[in-house]
Amino acid sequence: MNRRKFLAGVGATATGGAVATGTGAFTSVDADRTVSVAVADEETSSYLVLDSLAPGSSENGSFSSNGGGSSGVELELDFNQNIPTSTNSEGGEGPGKNSVYEFDEVFEVENQGTQTVDVGIETLTGSDSDFEDSNGNSPSNTLKMSFYPDSNASSPLETNPVSISPGNAQTVGVKIELGDVAFEPYSAEATVIADADSGQITF
């Protein structure tokens, strides 16, 4: 199982066999090896790409971007922005209280590895202190964000991972459930897991 937060795993393999008699044991070994890890641009060249959708390819692609992270390439979702349209110059500035919003096809996950992987994304909740406001406080009422494939909001990726074969991508939608929360911008970090072993993905 490969979590996006892990950069590399390093292992060693011994080969050959003992041909002499006796125990042949050694007391201590200290061996240096060179390990190289090239951190790839998440938007274009990492093994598992998390990418905003091309302009015009999705009505909801404007909620995602790859340019706002501290590294300049991490995917970010922003549902607090003003989004004026050609039919409404004012635009909206965020989801409202006591509501459930579904945003189909906000971003995509692309498999640039060499084997099919099952991909899941954790569901974020205020009750688990996943969300914080600018003062580090969690919401006092319902705030939940889940991720789903395409437009299938009833199938959250946390409990229903999708299989993505090499070279293919899966579009991802976002469902936001809100109770009587304060009028504040909240932020959180979600974990994406890609598992090539077809095992059960757990968060």
pLDDT for 68 beyond 60: no
| Six token digits for residue 121 | 């994304």
Rg (the chain; Cα; Å): 22
Q: Dihedral (C-alpha) 178, 181, 186, 188: value to the nearest 10 degrees?
A: -50
113-140 confidence digits (pLDDT tens)? 899 999 999 999 988 998 888 898 888 8
**Residue 122, pLDDT score:** 92
Q: What percent of the chain has pLDDT over 70?
A: 67
| Six token digits for residue 201 | 């993905």
Give the model's confidence band at 109: pLDDT under 50 very low, under 70 low, under 90 confident, else very high: very high
Give the mean pLDDT of 89-105: 82
Question: What is the number of alpha carbons within 13 Å of residue 191 lying toward its C-beta?
Answer: 14
18-29 confidence digits (pLDDT tens)? 444 455 566 556
Q: How many whole angstroms from its chain centre is CA 55? A: 21
**Residue 77, pLDDT score:** 87
**Residue 46, pLDDT score:** 78
Q: What is the pTM of this model?
A: 0.75
